[in-house]
Structure 1
Amino acid sequence: MSTSSIRVRFAPSPTGMMHLGGVRTALMNYLFALQKNGIFIIRIEDTDTERNYDPQATGIINDILWLGLHYQHGPVVSGPDAPYFQSERTSIYQTHLTQLISNKFVYRCFCTSLELEKKRERQIALKQPPRYDKTCLKLSDQEIQKQLDKQVPFIWRMKFESDKSVTIHDLSHGIINFEFKNFSDFPLTRQDGSFTFIFANFVDDLTMKITHVIRGEDHLTNTACQAALYQAFEAPLPVFWHLPIICNVEGKKLSKRDFGFSLRDLKDTGYLPQAINNYLATIGGGTLDNQILALPELARSFDFNKIHATGQVKYDVEKLKWFNHKWINELNPQELYDQTIEFIKNEFPQTTSIPRDTLTVLLQAIKPNMTTLADAAELLRFYFVRTLIQKETFTSHIDSAFIQQIATVLTESINEVAHPETYIDKIKDLAKINNIPVKVLYTALRLCLTGTLGGPTLATILYILGESESRIRIVYLINQITK
C-alpha cells in the first residue's frame, strides 16, 4: 500500500469532554497520517442523542485544534465523504443494511430485552458463555410474518457462521484469528430503527476507505464483528492498532476522579498542548523515551514497527509535569506572556495596569521555576502582594540561634541592596564573618522578600522588587527580629 493512500480517522462521541485516552487516540492517528503522508479524518459519532453533551461537537473540535492536530476532512472543513456526523448518515447505513438483507447475512430478532436478559442469566448460572442462542434465526417465514402482522418490534442481527473465522492484522498484537463460533449474532439496528455503534462505525470506515483503524484496546472485542461485516461485503480489512488503556498509578482505568482524565483539567491548570502531545507519544511504544519533540518531529521519529503489546499503560502526572516544564522553557518571551497572562490576571486583576514589557521581563525571571503556566501567578505573588514577615513566622523556619547574627548581616549590607549581585556577595562574606551558614542566611532573606521558601534566585527577586521595595521588606524584618 502506498503511503499516499493511507487514511485514518478519529471518531469521538460528543457525550462528554475530551479525556486523555481520546486525546492519545487522536494524536496517534494524526502522527500516523503525518508520517505516511496520509489523510486524517474527523467524524462525530453522535447517534446517542439522549447523552449528547456537545451536540455540534464544538468543544471536541476546538480541543483537537488546540492540540495542533489539524485534520484534512471532517466537520467545518468538510471533504469528499461528507457528512461527518453519524446522525446525518442514516441513508448510507440503510443502503448497506439493505444489501446485507438481500444477501441473507442478517435476520429479524423479535426477542425483548427482558427475554434476552433472562437467557443471559440462565447461561451464566449454567456456566455457559452468555451469547444469543439464535432463537429468531430458527423462525419460519410464516412465524416471521405473523410477528410482523402483529407489529412486534424487531432488530436486525448479523448472522455468524459458526464454522467460519476471520483474521486481522494488529500493529501491536500481530495476527489475530477470530473463530465465529465464539461470538454472538450481534445487532445492527435498535428497535426504534436506529443503527448500532458497531454497524455505523463499520459502514463509515468502509465508505471513507479507512486503511488503518487506530483506537483503544477496549474496542478489540468489537473487531471480530466488524471484520465479519468486511467479509460479508467482500471488502479488504483495514490494519488495526488497539492502543493500550491508560490507567492511574494504581493500575485502574483512568476515571473522572483522576487529575488529568479530562483535557479541561490540564488546560485549566496550565499544561501546554506541546507537552501533552509529547508525553502521550512516549507511553505505550514508539521508542521516543524522553525526547523533547514537536508534532512534526514526533511524526518523523515515532517507530510504528516497535509498539508494545500491552493491555495498559500507567499515566504518570509527574512525567507530564517534567515535559511541561521543558516546553515552558522552550517558549520565547512573547509566547510565555501570551500563554500566562490570563492565569496572572485571574489571580491579580491589577495586572492590567502593568506594562506588557514589565510583565514579560518578570516572566522570563521566573520561567526556570515554572512547571505549569498557572505557576506564574504564585511565583509572582511576592511582586503583587507585599508580604511583611512577622517574627513568629520567621522563627518557625529559622533556628533562633542565628537570629541576632542575621539581623547584624542584613543591617550592615542594606546599603548595597540597589545592586543585587554585589549585595549577594556582601551578605555571603558577612555570613562567614558572623558564623552563619550561607544556606540559613539565604533562606532568611528569601522569607523576608517573598514570604516563601522557593522561587527564583535571590538576585532575581531583588531585581524584580527593585531597591525601594526590597529595602522596605528587609528593614521591616530587621525591626521584627530585634525587638
Structure 2
Amino acid sequence: MTDKVRVRFAPSPTGSLHIGGARTALFNLLFARHNNGVFVLRIEDTDTERSTEESVAQILRSMKWLGLDWDEGPEKGGDYGPYFQSQRLELYRKEAQRLLDEGKAYYCYCTPEELAARREAMMKAGKAPRYEGLCRNLCDEDRKRYEAEGRKPVIRLKVPQEGQTVVEDIIRGTVVFENSVLDDFIIMKSNGMPTYNFACVVDDHAMKITHVIRAEEHLSNTPKQIQVYKALGYELPRFAHVPMILAPDRSKLSKRHGATSVEEFRDQGYLSQAIINYLTLLGWSPLDSEEIFDMEKAIREFTLERVNKTAAIYDIKKLTWINGHYLRELDLDYITDQVIPFMVKKGIIAEEDAGKRYEYIKQVVAVSRDRAKTLDELADAIAFFFKDVAEYEEKGVKKHFFKENAAELLIKGAEALERLDEFTHESTERAFRSLTDSIGLKAAELIHPTRLAITGRTVGPGLFEIIVLLGKEETVKRMRKAADWIKNHGTGASAS
C-alpha cells in the first residue's frame, strides 16, 4: 500500500449521477485534497444489461459541472488504468483462477431454479436463506457430469463458516459481522463477468486505494469484501461509510421527493457552487458551524472523523436558500452568463441577440437577482424587460387598476415622463413625486399602478430602476396601454 492517500469514486453507469452519489464523490475529493492525495474516478460498468454510454457521459458531465475534478480516470488516464471495469476483465479472471488454484474458491453448478427452490424451502423452515455450499466439495466425476449437461458454472469464494469478520470503520467504529450469516458468495458469474464485491476489491488493490469512502448502504458488503481481500492476500484499505441521505419524512430519498439527479437541479436553475456547499453540509459541518462556505474552506477543514454517524435529511428549502445567496453574491458577469441559456429556452431572448444585448442583460440581472432563488426564477423575473406585458397580475388589478381615476393617473404619469429631457433615476422619481404632490396624492398611489402597468406584477426591483432600464419610449407606451386596458375592463372606465 502506498503512503500517499488514494481514494476513488466508482459509480455504475446505470442512470444519472444522483445527489447521494455526488455527495460521496465530493467527500472523497475533499479528503484527497485535504491530505494532498489522489482522487480516482473508476466506472464500474460490468452490469452489461443496464450500463449505458449515455450514463457514463452524464456522470462525467455532472461531475465536471460540479467541479469534482478527478486526478485519474476517464479522459485523464493514469498509471493504474484502464478505468472502466469492462476493460479489466482479464485481471479479474486471472485473480479468480488463482483462488481456484489455491483451493480458496470453487465452481458452482447449481441452477437458478435449484437455488430458488432451496431458498424457498429454507424460508418455510424459518431459516435465513443462504447458499449452503452444495458444490463446495464436488468430485471430478460430478463436475464432468454437470458440464456434460451443459451447465455453466459460477465461481464462489470459500467463506469461513465460523468466527467473525470485523470492520474497523473510521466513522462508525468497530462493526462486527458473524461469519455464520455469510455464505459462499459468487465472485464470477456464469457469463464470465465479475460480481461487484469481487471486482471492486481487485481494482482497489490494483489501483493502490488507501481509503474506501462510500455510502452507508455498502457497509453490509464490506465483510464479504474483507473476505476477498484476505483470500487474495491483499492489504486492507481503511473503510469509512458516510451516513445515508433521507427524505424529510425520513424515508428513502426517491423521485417522489422532487429532483434527485444533479442534472435535474442544474436544469431547474441551481448553481453548482450552491449544490457543493449544500452537499458538504449533508453529514458534515465546518468548525465554526457557518452554513455558507466555499470549496477551499471545506478542503482545509474536512476530516472523516467529523462526519456524522446519523442520517442526513434532504432539505430542498435549505438548498434553495443557499442558492439564493450565491445568486446574489457571485460575480455579476458569471450570473449573467448562467441565466442567458434559461432566457433563450423560455423564448425571452433569441440566442443570437444575447451577445449584442449582453450589457443590457447584465444591468437587468444586477437590479433583479436579489429577489430570485434560482436561475429559472431569475429568467422569469426579468422577462418583462425584454417582452411586452401580456397580462397583469390579478390581485394587482383589483388593488391598483380598479381604483377610481387609475387610468387617468397613468396617463398623467406617462405625460410627466414624456416631458423629461434627462431620463434618470432621480429625474423620473422627481417627476412622479411632483405630479402626485400637485394633485394631493401619495406617491405610492401612482407608483403601484405604474409598476403593474410596465411589469405586469406587483413586486420586483425598484420602480425607477425599471423605468430607466426600459427607457422613456417603452415605459410611456406600456403605461398608455394599461390605461386603455383599464378603460376597457374595469371601473376606471368612468374615471376618464
Name the TM-score, length of structure 2 as normaliser. Answer: 0.88
1:469 aligns with 2:469: no
- Mapped to 1, the partners of 2:9 and 2:262 lie a distance apart of 16
Cα 1:413–1:275 shift into 2, 3 Å: same
Aligned to 1:267, the other structure's residue is in SS state: helix
Cα 1:321–1:433 shift into 2, 3 Å: farther
Match of 1:445 in 2: 450
Amino acid aligned to 2:477: I
1:372 aligns with 2:377: no
Over aligned residues, Cα RMSD in angstroms?
Answer: 2.8
Match of 1:358 in 2: 360
Question: Which of 76-85 and 128-137 deviates more?
Answer: 128-137
- Mapped to 2, the partners of 1:125 and 1:52 lie a distance apart of 36
Match of 1:100 in 2: 99
- Mapped to 1, the partners of 2:132 and 2:26 lie a distance apart of 40
- Mapped to 2, the partners of 1:240 and 1:397 lie a distance apart of 63
Q: CA deviation at 1:337?
A: 2.4
Match of 1:247 in 2: 246
Question: Which of 8-17 and 431-440 deviates more?
Answer: 431-440
- Mapped to 2, the partners of 1:216 and 1:301 lie a distance apart of 21
Aligned to 1:235, the other structure's residue is in SS state: coil
- Mapped to 2, the partners of 1:378 and 1:271 lie a distance apart of 14
Contact kept, 8 Å, 2:392 with 2:453, in 1: the verdict is no
Contact kept, 8 Å, 1:43 with 1:74, in 2: the verdict is yes
Contact kept, 8 Å, 1:249 with 1:316, in 2: the verdict is yes
- Mapped to 1, the partners of 2:20 and 2:382 lie a distance apart of 34
Cα 1:430–1:179 shift into 2, 3 Å: farther
Please list, as runs of the form range in 1=range in 2, the aligned pairs for 1:249-398 lying within 5 A after superposition: 249-287=248-286, 289-310=289-310, 312-346=311-345, 347-350=347-350, 352-353=352-353, 354-387=356-389, 394-398=396-400
Structure 1 regions of 5+ residues with no counterpart? none
Amino acid aligned to 1:260: A
- Mapped to 2, the partners of 1:55 and 1:343 lie a distance apart of 24
Q: CA deviation at 1:164?
A: 2.6
Aligned to 2:165, the other structure's residue is in SS state: strand
- Mapped to 2, the partners of 1:301 and 1:441 lie a distance apart of 54
Match of 2:131 in 1: 132
Amino acid aligned to 2:202: V
- Mapped to 2, the partners of 1:340 and 1:440 lie a distance apart of 34
Q: CA deviation at 1:42?
A: 0.7
- Mapped to 2, the partners of 1:466 and 1:26 lie a distance apart of 49
Amino acid aligned to 1:313: A
- Mapped to 2, the partners of 1:470 and 1:397 lie a distance apart of 21
Aligned to 1:79, the other structure's residue is in SS state: coil
- Mapped to 2, the partners of 1:203 and 1:88 lie a distance apart of 13
- Mapped to 1, the partners of 2:210 and 2:183 lie a distance apart of 26
Cα 1:130–1:443 shift into 2, 3 Å: farther
Contact kept, 8 Å, 2:413 with 2:446, in 1: the verdict is no
Superposed CA deviations along residues 372-431 of structure 1, whole A, max 9, x for unmatched, are 22233212211122116679875334485x443785487368525734345446656877
1:69 aligns with 2:68: yes
Contact kept, 8 Å, 1:47 with 1:86, in 2: the verdict is yes
Structure 2 regions of 5+ residues with no counterpart? 487-491
Question: Which of 82-91 and 320-329 deviates more?
Answer: 320-329
Q: CA deviation at 1:283?
A: 1.0
Q: CA deviation at 1:93?
A: 0.7
- Mapped to 2, the partners of 1:395 and 1:153 lie a distance apart of 76
Superposed CA deviations along residues 248-286 of structure 1, whole A, max 9, x for unmatched, are 333232223443212121121222211111110001123
Match of 2:160 in 1: 161
Cα 1:438–1:170 shift into 2, 3 Å: farther
Amino acid aligned to 1:445: T
Name the TM-score, length of structure 1 as normaliser. Answer: 0.90
Contact kept, 8 Å, 1:287 with 1:303, in 2: the verdict is no
Q: CA deviation at 1:111?
A: 1.1
Match of 1:237 in 2: 236
Cα 1:434–1:55 shift into 2, 3 Å: closer
Aligned to 1:51, the other structure's residue is in SS state: coil
Cα 1:293–1:455 shift into 2, 3 Å: same
Match of 1:116 in 2: 115
Question: Which of 40-49 and 262-271 deviates more?
Answer: 262-271
Cα 1:440–1:192 shift into 2, 3 Å: farther
Cα 1:13–1:412 shift into 2, 3 Å: closer
